[in-house]
Amino acid sequence: MEYIGNIEKMLTQLDDNVKYILPIGEERIEMNQYIGKQISLQFQNQINCVACGTKTNKSFAQGFCFNCFSSAPEASECILHPDKCQAHLGISRDMQWSINHCLTPHIVYLANSSNIKVGITRKTQIPTRWIDQGATAAIIIAVTPNRHIAGIIEKYLMQYYSDKTSWQSMLKGVSNHVDLSAEKAKVKSLLPAELLQYYSTSDDITTIKFPVEEYPVKIKSESFDKTQNVEGVLTGIKGQYLILDHSRVINIRKHRGYLVKFTI
Ligand SMILES: [Zn+2]
């Protein structure tokens, strides 16, 4: 079977093992069934911006042409620095977009993706965000009415926790035991009163299992910017990465908008 189209980040479903679906053009390919099998991804030397569709020689911020990177709300500063989001002041590249994406309930969480990290996301992005980061467990710390306040809480907690995922450790399946309930209780004692009002009383821990048969040992990261063909036996999927034999991985999200021929 052969499919050609622009790829998008993989869609996911929380199940016993996470289910992954690769969008390629109009097709939606269920990927779990190909674990243990030979697959081939061949870059067709064309990238289309995920916002406007125009051809671009280089992708900015995971899928945008330079023009959209400079103007699209999806690529604005508040995405990388939520505490600088100004939508609540009526300032945004696109107010309608911000009403839907910034001025909606957000959560602050702690997740374990090999190491403990703090993060924020829109409430509707749970558990998608955790799956995309390859987290094996996560707990909600706070629920806020908008992105800005979630960003302030995250920034405060960055004094105590990293906001980064160590993607190589995550892909190697390194798991340091973290007691998320205990860490959450610790956060409660750290937060100042004006932020404590958003503290979540729900102590549910979401656990996530990924479909991985074999973890890479010494990771070799593949990219269509360097290699046209990425092929081999798919040994697992974690976060937004396909894991291939011989310890190779490819970040699908990084290649949003790339025109690819997928052969199985
Ligand atoms: Zn564009």
| Predicted pLDDT at 221 | 97
Q: In the structure encoding, which two tokens stand for residue 5, read together? A: 């189209």
Residue range 149-165: average pLDDT?
A: 96
At residue 2, the 3 state secondary structure works out as strand
Q: Would you state the pLDDT for residue 79? A: 86
Tokens read off for 178 = 């973290």
Pairwise CA distance, residues 136 & 130, whole Å: 8
- Answer whether 260's CB lies under 8 Å from 24's CB: yes
Given a contact cutoff of 8 angstroms between Cβ atoms, the answer to whether 32 and 19 are in contact is yes
Same-domain check for residues 187 and 85: yes
> Residue 90: which residues within 8 A CB-CB, separation 6 or more?
none
Gap from CA of 18 to ligand 1 centroid (Å): 31
Cα torsion 134, 203, 124, 95 to 10°: value is: -110
The better pLDDT of the pair 209, 78 is held by 209
**What dihedral angle (degrees, nearest 10) is formed by the CA atoms of 221, 222, 225, 228?**
170
If asked whether residues 186 and 81 sit together in one domain, one would say yes
CA 228 from centre of chain:
24
Distance from residue 60's CA to the centre of ligand 1 (Å) = 10
Q: 97 and 193, same structural domain? A: yes
Residues 96 and 48 in one domain: no
Number of Cβ within a 10 Å radius of residue 56: 21
Based on the domain organization, do 193 and 114 belong to the same domain?
Answer: yes
Last residue of a domain, one of 207, 224, 250: 207
Measured in Å, residue 255 CA sits from the centre of ligand 1 at 15
Q: In which region does residue 25 sit, left (phi positive, over 0), alpha (psi from -120 to 50) or beta (all else)? A: left
At residue 76 the predicted structure's pLDDT band, cuts being 50, 70 and 90, is confident
User: CA 56 to CA 238: how far, in whole Å?
Assistant: 28
Whether the bond into 216 is cis, omega within 30 of 0: no
Share of the chain above pLDDT 70, in %: 100
Six token digits for residue 15: 């199940």
Give me the pLDDT at residue 236, please. Answer: 98
Domains contained in the chain, number: 2
pLDDT higher than threshold 90 for residue 176 = no
Task: Give the residue ranges of DSSP H helices in 30-127.
Answer: 66-71, 77-80, 95-101
Q: Are both 201 and 243 inside the same structural domain?
A: no
Looking at the domain assignment, is residue 249 inside a domain? Answer: yes
pLDDT given at position 225: 96
Query: What's the gap in Å between 11 CA and the centre of ligand 1?
Result: 22
Mean pLDDT along residues 44-66: 96
Q: pLDDT for 127-137, tens place per residue?
A: 999 999 999 99
d(CA 4, CA 192): 52
Average pLDDT in the chain? 96
The answer to the question of residue 148 being in a domain is yes
Measure 149 CA to ligand 1 centroid, in angstroms. 30
Summarize the confidence of residues 98-123 as an average pLDDT.
95
Pair 131, 187 in one domain: yes
pLDDT of residue 77 exceeding 90:
no
Q: Are 80 and 171 in the same domain?
A: yes
Instruction: Collect all residues with Cβ–Cβ distance below 8 Å to 156 and sequence separation of at least 6.
Output: 190, 191, 192, 195
How far does the centroid of ligand 1 lie from the alpha carbon of residue 101, in Å?
Answer: 19
Q: How far is the CA of 53 from the centre of ligand 1 (A)?
A: 6
pLDDT bracket for residue 41 (50, 70, 90): very high
CA 257 to centroid of ligand 1, rounded, Å: 10
Between the CA of 146 and the centroid of ligand 1 the distance, in Å, is: 27
Quote the longest CA-to-CA distance of the chain: 58
Instruction: Say how many Å lie between the CA of residue 151 and the centre of ligand 1.
Output: 27
Would you say residue 249 has pLDDT above 90?
yes
The Cα-based distances of 104 to 27, 41, 95, 110, 152 in angstroms read 31, 38, 13, 20, 15
Q: List residues bridging with 212 in a β-sheet.
A: 236
User: For the residues 101-126, what does the mean pLDDT come to?
Assistant: 96
- Residue 142's pLDDT band, with cuts at 50, 70 and 90, is very high
Question: What is the CA(66)–ligand 1 centre distance, in A?
Answer: 7
Q: What residue numbers bound the domain in which 253 lies?
A: 2-66+212-263
